[in-house]
Structures are given as structure tokens and as C-alpha cells.
Structure 1
Amino acid sequence: MGHEWKALKDRFGRLRADDLLDVDPGTHLTIAEVLSAEHIVERRAAGRKDGTILTELSRLRTVCNWAAQRGMMKAAPKWAMPPIPRARTRHLSREQFARFLESAAVPHLRLFAILGIATGGRMGAILELTWDRVDFERGHILLDNPERDRTAKGRALVPMNESARAALLQAKEAALTDYVIEWAGQPVASVKKGIRAIGKAAKVGVVSPHDFRHSAAVWMAEDGVSMSEIARYLGHKDSRITERVYARFSPEHLQRASQSLEVGEFTQKRLAKRSPGLPGTEIEKAFELGKSLLENKPRAAFVQLDEVSDRFVIQLKNGVALAIPPTIMQSLTGLLPGLLSEVEVIGSGHGLHSKTLGVDLLLLDLLAKAIGAPAEAKRRAS
């Protein structure tokens, strides 16, 4: 919290808690909303990323929510917040990991990489791992530290595969401390710099300790391991988190949805039945867009309702935007629920219940072709 407060105190430190609830006469927004919006602009100008800014303001919001719940504030303030950054899910292929290990000459870094893949554990869990939680007889590794305070991030009991067993037995013979990962007779606080250096030497790009966890999950998904099993392996308390990030790597991902879109009159009749009153041409457009979505590799995007044009604007990662008529979007929502995630709330104006839909979509040219409206595709002004 110290680093975050350092960034916040000049703007917020002079205020009493309830001052944040006052309304600014010029904007009709609360002081909290005005100051947090100013904070976002200033921090971006200083080169800070939205993830950093979000963390800073979230700390302040948490404190105020805590105070409001205990009657120390009249109410919890509303805040301006930057968008949540898309999660970084970089992973190594098996060939890249083999090259990484070939370049890993430092024993504790090599052992960390092997355990990162074999256990899918977070950096903190692996660095805190002690030998009393490595059970060679039963063949499992307990990543959870009984002496550690419980947090929202779960830690798992995982099986010990042969790669991990061989590496651990070798490390056990040379152990000088109770910690599995050690260097010069001392536990290790971080391996970020060392892992990055090995990745550079192996020419596999920028590698972080967390990439091994992602790689483990992706490899399991690619091999057809169920999302619930991967969730347990990673220590996720909610398998929806696992599915949102890793389901796309599974060969079974969207197979059932794809089968429902087999080309033929029957599928189009089903779509028409799900969207009564929709003109036939609109049904065909929605059907073709749905086929394209499932037949091509998805690209991440967001969809928002533009209340001015009364259309759904698809925003792609490359800055391209595309307007979709609500009738088509409504049909896709009913037909392809597997493509929609993290649904929040809006009114029922178009039979949808989301203000912002996280949707897996393909490239702009496929979208434009599918709905036959390339004139509506436009590059967002940079």
C-alpha cells in the first residue's frame, strides 16, 4: 500500500473522508469521481500503465468501502476507473521450454522452471516450498504453506511427476536449508531477473516466472484435460476463471457450438425460431457471422452498445471498430452463448442484458464480409 499511497497522497491526502462524497458544481460529479479522473489523466501522462493506475485507485476504493461498511463514512464513494487490462497469458511451447532448460545453467533457476511446469504453482508458492511438504513416498507436493495466512489465491496439492521427482531428488542431496529453492545456503526472494536472462539467452523471448504456470495450464488444455481438473491443479477456487483463460486451447472448445452451426437449412430454421420476427436477410447475416466466428481463430475484442447510433460497436485489439445492428447482435447472443463472457448489466432494450460483453471475435475483414457492411467498418482515430 505504501507505493500506491505515495502516488495518491498529494491529491487525496488533504481531504476528509466525507469530502469525497461532495458534488462538484461544475461537473455535477462527486469529488471522488472528479479527482480519480484527474489522477488517471495525470498518471497516464507520466507514463504509468492502466494496470498500475487501477491498482492505486482500487486500494483507495477498498479503504473507503471498508470505512463506509463500518459507519465511518456516510456512503462508499463512486470512482472513475481505467479499464481492466487484458490478462497477460503468454506461454511457452514444449520446444521453447526445452530450449529454456538447455540454457538454464544455474541450478536453482533450472529447478524453479521444472517445478513451475510440473506443479503449475505461482512464484511465491514455489519459493516458499519447504522439504517437509515434498512427499517422495506418496508422490505429491503440497504448495500450500500451513503457516501462511489464507488469501484469495488458492494453492494446491499436486502429484509429483517423474521430471519433478528426478530434479527434486538431485536438489535434495545438495540441500543446505529447509527450502527447496535456495542459493548459496539462503532462501530465494525472487527469480524474475534470472528467468528473464535465461529466456533471452535461449532466444525464446521475454520470460517471466508466471509464464511457467500459464504454460502448464495450456499444455494440459491442449492435451484435453478438463477445465475442472485444470482448475484444481492450479488451485483456482472457481473453474470459470480457468475456462475464461484456457478453454480456447482445448481441442473440444466450442465443438458443440460449432456443430449447432452446421451449414444447412435446419440450422437457419433454428436461428429463425430463436429470433422470432427477425427478417430473413438478417437471419442469414447473423448465421454467416456465427459460422465465421467458429470457423476462424478468434481474436479478443469488446462489444459496447452505442446509445447514439443504437448499434453495437465491436472494438478489436488492433484499434478497428465495427458497428453491428442490434437485431444481428441479439441473434448472435441467443445462438452463441459460449462466445460471451463476463456479462454485466444494461436495460432490456434489445433483449440483451449486458452493457459490456467480452466476446471472442475474428478479424475485421471476416466480420465485414459476414454482415455485408464494410462501409460501417472504420479505424478508430488514434
Structure 2
Amino acid sequence: MVTRVYLDHNASAPLKPAVKAAMVQALDLVGNPSSVHGFGRAVRRAVEDARALVAALAGVRPAQVFFTGSGTEANNLALRGFPGRRVVVSAIEHESVLAIAPDTPRIPVDRDGVADLDALERLLAAGEGPALVSLMLANNETGVIQPVAQAAAIAHAHGALLHCDAVQAAGRLPLDLSALGADLLTISAHKIGGPAGAGALVIAEGLEPEALIRGGGQEKRRRAGTENVVGLVGFGAAARLALEELPDADRLTGLRDALEVQVRDAVPEALVMGAAAPRVGNTSCLLLPGVPGETQVMALDLAGVAVSAGSACSSGKVKPSHVLAAMGQGAEDLPVDWAASAIRVSLGWDSDAAAVDRFVAAYAAMAQRRRRAPAA
């Protein structure tokens, strides 16, 4: 049986063995973290140890880390927690940001997928009242790194707050809330080799977002409900490893670059989206004109290679990428179907050169079959 290759880390990274071991050990903990007896205090220590590890990854104090059930929930807490502020988001944000504010102004991006800061300045200057800006650090589809620190400076000059979805940047770029200038920062465990069901919103000191979930004193009353202790222990273990393994980002960049060189050689018609902009080293967005992304994903899956078409947070539905559509605004030289003809290859901690070779071979074979197919 041929070994399958998993190249969809931006959707969800495989659980790291050390994280699994920490979670298995945590299963033996008994009690509620809010209980004052010895059992409860032991569980509370596990939660607070995890908080300290996530804080170290984000470059903040543990008191600034507030656990949630996911990155999506953290984004909701950030954007819905300040109801007196108008919301301004970039056109390439994750759906969990765009859906919160469907009718708000969008910061456009250029051909390479980088946010237009002059447009952000105009949007903030034109509106009335205090604002909250949301700009991700690394795009989940292209890997393009956004100018968050510069955007934060512009936002603060207009009295606005800045939220940064750093879900795809954690473990791939050094994080430091102060250096980014962000007021709010989202992280998710399952993107860094931790479990699904655990996320965090990092909050700058002095800010008090309104709680979305009420009914208990957990997380300083910002998120009621008994903590997912086993998941949070896994989150902490994954955060510790992500920080320790940051140098591995260079290895992944080398693999990603080799993949793109081989793809260009084997399939000259393929385009690498966002290649001219700074990107996190694990992500490649490949456009094959005329071939729907869903078709590509299925063909590669049959060849034993797992990738995505766009975001993987739409219940299995594949639709044209809003990220690529935003990048293509006004670009007359691009194919009309380009937003629906791309796939995302995302490497991670278990990726190696053999996986890259398997992908390139399957991708080239798919493109070759397409060339041989009779015209419709």
C-alpha cells in the first residue's frame, strides 16, 4: 500500500507525538480547575502552566492570554467585544473575521496580496467614531505576510485598535505583541501540532472586551465555561515546541522553494500566487489556469497527496477564493477563472523532500492528463 502524503498543515497540522503524550498524561487529572481542594488546584496548575507556554509563544505575560475553544471564537471575541467601535477588515481575512462584519469597509490588497495601507488610512479618516481594524499576519491561502506593525501605527494614529489573526503565523514567525503594535492577537492550537478545540485571544493590558459566553468566572469572566483542560495542556505543549522549533522554518522554506522550482519546470503554465511578496516558508498557492481547484484536489487525493483548495473551514465546500479574487481586482492579464483554479500546498513539522517529490510527480501527471484531454 502506497503511503499517503499530507500537505495540508494550514488546515490542521498532525498532532505531534510529544503533545499527544502530554495530553494522555493530563487525562489522569481529576477535578474542576475552579475547585479549591487539592484536586482542583492541581488541574488549575496544569491550565496556568499551559497559559504561560502560550504566552511565551506570543511574547506576552501569561495574564494577557485568554483561552477560547478555537481561533474562530477568539476572532469573534476580538471583533464583537467592542460594540462601540466600527470595524474595518482586510479583504483577505479568514471567513471567521469577514462573517462577523459582512457589510464593513474592506482594505484592498495589491496584486501580490499585500494590504494597501494608503487605503487603510483613507478608510479610517473617512469614518466617524472609534474603529477596530483587523489584519492577519500571514494569509492562510497564499502565506503572504502582512504589514501589521505599520497598519497598527496608522490605526493608533486614528484612535483605532488593531486585531491581528496570527493563526497561520504562530510557529512560523516570531511573535511579539508589542513589536507588532497589535492590541489583540489570535492563536489556535491545531495549526501548530496541537489539538483542535483550543485557541487563545491575547489582549493588550488595559483592554476589556465584552464577554461572548457568560455564566461563570472563568478566564477572568471573559469566557465562561469549564476549561478544556486536556486540550489546553496539549496547546501548551504545542506552543513550547513551536517556539523551540522556530529555526525549522528555514528547512520548510527550502522545501517550499524546491517544490515551486520543480513545479515551474514540470508545469510551465502554473503560477505561484504571492511569490513576489514576503511569505511564511511553508505555504505555496499554485494556480493552474482552466482546472478547477476542486478537480485538482480530487486528482491529487487519488494519487495519495492531500492538499486544499482555499480555506478548509467551509464544511467541505470548495468555492472561488475570495483571497485570490481580491488580489486580481483590476488585473486584466489574469485568467477569468483564476480565483477558482488554485490549490494550497502547506508543509509542516512532518514534511520532507520525499513528500515534495511525491507532490510534484502527482501534480505534473495531473497537468499532463489535462493537456491530453480533448477540448470540450
TM-score (norm 1): 0.24
Greater helix share, structure number: 1
